[in-house]
Amino acid sequence: MTKIKAGVTGWGSYIPPYRIKASDIASLWGFDPYTPKAIWIEEKAVAALDEDTITIGWRASKYALQRAGVKPEEIGAVFVGTESKPYSVKPSATVIADALGISPKKLASDLEFACRAASEAIRISISLVNTEMAKYTLVVGADTAQASPGDVLEFTASSGGVALVIGGLDDAAAVIEDSYTYVTDTPDFWRRSLAPYPEHGEAFTGEPAYFNHIINAVKGLFEEGGYKPNDFDYAVFHQPNGKFPLQVGAKLGFPKEKILPGLVTPYIGNTYNGSALMGFAKILEEAKPGSRILLAPFGSGAGSDAYAIVVTDHVLEKRDKAPKVVDMINRKIYIDYARYAKMREKILRYRR
Amino acid sequence: MRSFIISSSAVKIDRYYDKNFKELAIESIKDLEKKISEPLEPEALIISSVAVEHLDKQSNIAGIIADYLGLRNIRVYRVESGEASGLAAVQIAHSLVSSKAVKKALVIGVDKLSDMPNAKIAELYSYLKDSDYIQIHGVSPLSEAALLAKIYMKTYDYSYEDLFIWPFTMHQNSPDTPHAQLRFKISPDSYKESPILAEPLRLLDSYPFGDGASALYIVSEDVAEEYDVNVSIEGLSSSNDVNDIASREDLLIFSAVRDSFIKTLKMADIELGKLKYIEIHDNYTPNAFIVLESIGLADRGKAPELLQDSMIGSAHVNLSGGLKARGNPWGATGVYQVHEIFSALLGEFKKSVLGEIDYAAAQNMSGCGDVSYSIVLKRVR
Amino acid sequence: MMFERSPAKIWRNRDVLYRLKYSYCRDCKRSFYPPRGRCIYCGSSNIEHRYSSGRGVVKEFTVVYQTPVGFTDMSPMVIGLIEMEEGFRLLAQIVDVKPEEISNGMKVEAVLRRMIVDGETGLIYYGIKFAPLIEKS
């Protein structure tokens, strides 16, 4: 079955403290007040004007290195999965790497696959570590997600990021037992090259995209690895809203008790490349050693990866070495729509 | 070796939307020219300006002004040492004259802060800080002065209201200063209600943005002897400090101000008590007090208490209204200061307050004492 | 419109601005920022460059309303006098906290942020600002 000899050596996350309530967005644009509840979104995190994917990714990476206890020079690759690159041309990974003191002797690039690019980076990292091309890699999933004002996406498109140090088994906080990937050409969500905001197929993002790909990836993992839902203590899925993960979990045979611990979108919104990984990071900060986690990120376009990951004893000594997801969920500075519009540059103005 | 000032002039600091840098500079020497008995034929022209290249997209300003003045075959220099450029230019003129390189040097300080909006002027002012490592943090002399105000108030137990004595005094002095930009008095309420720039500092703790130009004619002894009344440059010096105030061991003394003043007095061979009139660089209220204490006119933390009717110790300070009310057109400011103390020695400025005096001084710095220049003048005849 | 800020400047300063590189004087054992080749306290050139842990304490701060062009987005911008664990002090922005919640003695950590954005097409300058520690909830 598994040939993977890699694990998560360290993890870190970052959620900006600014929050806008979904009810404020609904009220401004004239949505039925029930709308946020229908998709279960309470509030979302908003990046400040001086934040972007690079700064969020840097902060999460700094915390990941703290937990990994790895020297920056030992990192052999840096990948940034994002769909909100500060530069269209010029890598984010190089800035994050240099700002952390990671040596020039490394691979580094930004990956794009909607919300799934960071997950692809995990699979690439497994290969690099298994083939000893890198001792450790740094995987960053970070976004300052855009949504056209008034689009239903605006309820959830938020800012945040997660970083994982992927390495060998020795000092892993969690061991990656197995993984499976399912990718097709499915046009559920896209943004053309000079367009400021993405478009999406609304309900089409559901069945043929989100559900189809996650279910096929998880079933593939189950078949190849011989797993059953009962073998897992936690299940974390990509979480574009609060409802989809519970629905896809139910279809796969997971009770909501196994899903809720890793479900963060209702409180911070969908951090896109940070989405499923944020739930995963939270579980690493809570789960007992020996717990098995199903992790299934998804990205539009579309694809999903399913991972079986087992928490080790090392998780205990690493947890308190950096701020936890729950601490950042609870750290809030509320803003109104006007301030949110300013912070996300939705006001037409001359830059000064 | 001494040099002598035989004439000076200054335009009222104002908004000169209808004049460019050259025209304002040339306007400023009209009165100077009237006061000398010979044609204005300097062998050197020294222009002090902090921001001409940013505000006017202009380099070689000294050569161009010389051209407009009809001066040919002379030495031209442009001097820029931040806000202390004016006195730095005077120092260059003095060096040229006292070293006998030239006999006559014309110094003009000019800047036009009304040419661009306030946020741009605030940006240019932040250029006084190290652009690589300090200015990039958003730091400017304003934020430094605000921090110094808080530290000053806490260390010496003053309230914000206690600081009002400085701007109040400056606005008492400015109404009869002909070239002052702000010639009105202010009340405690207008002080406390003026807009916040960087807390606790408000608009009335700062200087107005304006356009100004001032000029001095600095000559050798043999040229000066032909004039009835003249004034010698007895001492002048400068000193510098680390640009980042955060690294200073003592934030409440400007060592550059202290050191340059000590050197200047030594060169003039006089005691501080001999000076009856001093113009200091009060770009922000806390800086005025720190300068007075750095010079030694007040013990540490005592300047706000000791200041009475513009007097501190035996000296009158900033009878012009200072940067606060006379104005601070950057590169011209130091030249205005020397124009004022020179005119006072001739009995042509603030005579009702000062009477006849023999010595006067000026102190001109950049930012929060990053560099500081000082000068002592003596009435010779 | 052409960019206004030099790509070379952003590049050569990146160690200092991204990682708070500072100077340590081997003779007088004092630290200072920005890094220089000579000690600002004792004049020695027996200097080594080090990188800060990023942990510091607010000694004083001011809330700036008259912000220069390039920083108006941050208005009102908080500038703090920060004392780092390594002993040196610097002036830098404090972010992610309401001014009324800042106090002298507050612990802060260095965070990478956008410092200046060069117009619509130029480079983004990144550098260090300071944020309050994220507390355990």
Residue C63's CATH number: 2.40.50
Crossing angle (nearest 10°) for helices B141-156 and B118-126: 80
Question: What is the Cα–Cα distance from B9 to A343, expressed in whole angstroms?
Answer: 51
Assess whether the previous peptide bond of A198 is cis (omega < 30° from 0): no
Distance from the B333 Cα atom to the nearest Cα atom in chain C, whole angstroms: 22
Domain count, chain C: 1
pLDDT of residue A30: 98
Does B150 contact C62 at a Cβ distance shorter than 8 Å? yes
Tens digit of each residue's pLDDT (9 = 90 or more) over A26-44: 999 999 999 999 999 999 9
C122 found inside a domain? yes
* Backbone φ and ψ of C96, nearest 5°: 65, 30
C83 found inside a domain? yes
Question: What is the Cα–Cα distance from B100 to B80, expressed in whole angstroms?
Answer: 23
pLDDT of residue B184: 97
Mean pLDDT throughout B166-190? 97
**Is B147 in CB contact (< 8 Å) with chain C?**
yes
Residue B137: which of C62, C65, C91 has the nearest Cβ? C91
**Is C79 in CB contact (< 8 Å) with chain B?**
yes
Q: Output the DSSP codes for chain C.
A: ----S-HHHHHHTHHHHHH-EEEEETTT--EESS--SS-TTT----EEEEE--SEEEEEEEEEESSPPTTSGGGPSEEEEEEEETTS-EEEEEE-SS-GGG--TT-EEEEEEEEEEE-TTTSPEEEEEEEEE-----
C27 found inside a domain? no
Mean pLDDT throughout B307-325? 96
C125 found inside a domain? yes
pLDDT of residue A181: 97
C36 found inside a domain? no
pLDDT of residue C137: 80
Instruction: Collect all residues with Cβ–Cβ distance below 8 Å to A149 and sequence separation of at least 6.
Output: A29, A341, A346
Distance from the C26 Cα atom to the nearest Cα atom in chain A, whole angstroms: 23
* Whole-angstrom Cα Rg for chain A: 19
Q: Is B201 within 8 Å of B284 (Cβ atoms)? A: yes
Q: What angle do CA A126, A127, A131 make, to 5 degrees?
A: 120
The percent of residues in chain B predicted with pLDDT above 70, rounded, is 100
**Chain C residues in contact with A49 (beta carbon < 8 A):** 73-74, 114
Is residue C119's pLDDT more than 60?
yes
pLDDT of residue C136: 87
Return the active site residues of A.
Answer: 83, 115, 238
Question: What is the Cα–Cα distance from C125 to C87, expressed in whole angstroms?
Answer: 26
pTM of the model: 0.96
C93 found inside a domain? yes
Q: Is B277 within 8 Å of B341 (Cβ atoms)? A: yes
Is residue A57's pLDDT more than 60?
yes
CA distances from B304 to B153, B225, B325, B354 (A): 11, 42, 18, 22
* B273 burial via Cβ count (<10 Å: 0-12, 13-18, 19+): exposed
pLDDT of residue B228: 80
**Is C102 in CB contact (< 8 Å) with chain B?**
no
3-state secondary structure of B203: helix
Average pLDDT, chain A: 97
3-state secondary structure of B313: coil
pLDDT of residue A1: 44
Assess whether the previous peptide bond of B117 is cis (omega < 30° from 0): no
Question: What is the Cα–Cα distance from C126 to A86, expressed in whole angstroms?
Answer: 11
Closest CA to A60 of A163, A132, A177: A163
Does A331 contact C135 at a Cβ distance shorter than 8 Å? yes
Average pLDDT, chain B: 96
Closest CA to B374 of B277, B275, B258, B292: B258
C137 to chain A: nearest residue by CA?
A327
Does C79 contact B143 at a Cβ distance shorter than 8 Å? yes
3-state secondary structure of B127: coil
**Chain A residues in contact with C135 (beta carbon < 8 A):** 327, 331
Question: What is the Cα–Cα distance from B320 to B337, expressed in whole angstroms?
Answer: 8
pLDDT of residue A350: 86
Does C79 contact B122 at a Cβ distance shorter than 8 Å? no
C46 found inside a domain? no
Token pair of B146 as six digits: 């605000």
Other chains touching C, judged by 3 or more CB pairs under 8 Å: A, B
pLDDT band at A4 (very low <50, low <70, confident <90, very high): confident
Does C79 contact B147 at a Cβ distance shorter than 8 Å? yes
Tens digit of each residue's pLDDT (9 = 90 or more) over C104-115: 999 999 999 999
Distance from the C136 Cα atom to the nearest Cα atom in chain B, whole angstroms: 29
| Domains along the sequence of chain B with CATH | 3-117+209-224 (3.40.47.10), 138-208+233-379 (3.40.47.10)
Tens digit of each residue's pLDDT (9 = 90 or more) over A176-200: 999 999 999 999 999 999 999 999 9
Does B136 contact C17 at a Cβ distance shorter than 8 Å? yes
The range of the structural domain enclosing residue C93 comes to: 7-19+53-132
A vs C, Cβ pairs < 8 A, gives: 67
pLDDT of residue A2: 57
User: ipTM greater than 0.95, yes or no?
Assistant: yes
Residue B197: which of C66, C90, C129 has the nearest Cβ? C66
| Residue matched to tokens 């590169």 | B331
Q: Is C27 within 8 Å of C71 (Cβ atoms)? A: no
C48 found inside a domain? no
Mean pLDDT throughout A239-265? 98
**Chain B residues in contact with C70 (beta carbon < 8 A):** 123, 138
Does C51 contact A54 at a Cβ distance shorter than 8 Å? no
Closest CA to A325 of A270, A266, A283, A271: A283
CA distances from C54 to A78, A102, B343, C48, C130 (A): 22, 16, 54, 18, 9
* Backbone φ and ψ of A304, nearest 5°: -145, 145
Residue C14: which of A16, A98, A352 has the nearest Cβ? A98
Question: What is the Cα–Cα distance from A265 to A278, expressed in whole angstroms?
Answer: 9
A319 to chain C: nearest residue by CA?
C136
| Domains along the sequence of chain A with CATH | 1-352 (3.40.47.10)
